Amino acid sequence: MGIVLNGFVDYVGPNQALGWVWDSAAPDRRLNVVALKNTKIVSAMVANLYRPDLQQAGIGDGHYAFDLRFPSDAGYEIAVEIQDGQYKIPLNTDALNVSQAQVEDLIDIGLSPRNFQSKKNILPRAIDIIRLDPNDNCNLRCVYCHNFRSEKLIDLSEFREFLNIGVDSVGTFQIGCGMEPTLDSRLCDFVEVIAESKARPSKDFILQTNGLLLHRHDYQRLAGAGINLVSISIDVAEPETQKALRGGMSLEKLLRNVKDFRAHCPGVSVEFIATVTTANAEKAESLVTLGLKYGISRFTFREVFYFPKNPIVDHSRMPDLVLAAGQFEAMRKRILRQFGKKAEFIFADSNTLLRSWRNMEQKRSQ
């Protein structure tokens, strides 16, 4: 198969151009891009930054974005191309109308064993969010998981060097994004390296986990390094349904670890985060009741999304797990009506994700 390039310049400002480009025939390839004024190169970089909307839209692993900076006198007369000139990246029709707030929303960096070697050389900058997967695997097989897996790891010493050289400041730092961080015996080491660096977050320091292996790690080291929120993935209060959705899950072990962690670290907030499908949408109230019993003060409900072209997800079951129109909203209203004053609730439906995916699919076919 030959080279199949797709991408867009999503924003052009007086000293910046943002966008993405990838070779769908070679999704592991990262392309060199340049910004030109007339024929003069005014900026260049590898298009390897992470944008979650790309990954959610089925654009590989999402690490195809670029953020080209150039002198302000270059103005808006900028073209962005692949460095060897084989492809001029087209301008999104809205590229000149994107607000600075939307630009800042893109400073959301994902680090994993798949992209770390290229990311570690990015220029120092202030970053809103870093999402880190120090390992590339998980101990569960969730029906709706879209993520590739491997045995790769990020080297701890290289990670420490990256934080000291490649980062100026971070707002929120999350450990655990697409994979399970507690599988990695070095978890506390990574947390402490972050805490001792310029990347120590000014806002939230989050550990995202399914909770089954939390007991393998030193709770006091985690809390002492500044972890202030542990986000536990749990879909339902019924053991059998939980196991059916998240293969390998033991609700009993999970709850035992939650109870133990809260006893040792009462100052660290714990939230439950659930993926909502047809299997648990009508059982959400029982999950909240269970969480309140264990002292959970925040609940996040995310509507399941399904990308039929993804080669990882369980296609035999996913179509039946996608919610009907209005089902997620009905659940949201029930939850708030019954528990609205007892905890904090966050709801994320699939509309935005689906619109993004359809938009990307349309652009790729043009």
Higher pLDDT among residues 304 and 214, named by residue: 214
Order of strands, sheet of 32-37, starting from the edge strand that comes earlier in the sequence: 40-46, 32-37, 79-82
- Dist. CA 173–CA 329, nearest whole Å: 30
- DSSP letters, 171-193, are EEEEE-SSS-GGGSTTHHHHHHH
- pLDDT above 80: residue 126: no
- Dist. CA 186–CA 134, nearest whole Å: 9
- Which segment of 48-62, 187-201, 265-279 scores lowest on mean pLDDT? 48-62
pLDDT at res. 311: 82
Domain end, chosen from 40, 72, 98, is at 98
pLDDT tens-digit profile of 52-73?
Answer: 778 877 888 889 999 888 876 6
Among residues 248, 245, 247, 229, the alpha carbon closest in space to that of 237 is found at 245
How many structural domains comprise the chain? 2
Among residues 11, 14, 20, the alpha carbon closest in space to that of 102 is found at 11
Can you tell me the mean pLDDT for 10-30? 84
- pLDDT above 50: residue 167: yes
Same domain, 306 and 250: yes
pLDDT at res. 124: 47
Same domain, 203 and 258: yes
Same domain, 47 and 1: yes
Same domain, 280 and 132: yes
pLDDT at res. 104: 45
Task: Provide the CATH number for the domain around residue 46.
Answer: 2.60.40
pLDDT tens-digit profile of 279-291?
Answer: 999 999 999 999 9
The amino acid sitting at 172 is T
- pLDDT above 60: residue 76: no
Task: Provide the CATH number for the domain around residue 145.
Answer: 3.20.20.70
pLDDT at res. 82: 86
Same domain, 159 and 215: yes
- Dist. CA 253–CA 296, nearest whole Å: 17
pLDDT at res. 125: 67
Furthest-apart CA pair in the chain: how many Å?
65
pLDDT at res. 359: 40
In DSSP terms, 172 is beta-bridged to: 129
Same domain, 229 and 163: yes
- DSSP letters, 219-240, are HHHHHHTT--EEEEE---S-HH
- Dist. CA 363–CA 366, nearest whole Å: 5
Residue 270 pLDDT class (50, 70, 90 cuts): very high
- Dist. CA 188–CA 220, nearest whole Å: 10
Higher pLDDT among residues 114 and 201, named by residue: 201
pTM of the model: 0.71
- pLDDT above 90: residue 246: yes
Range of the domain at 213: 107-365
Domain end, chosen from 98, 122, 137, is at 98
pLDDT at res. 327: 95
Can you tell me the mean pLDDT for 145-170? 89
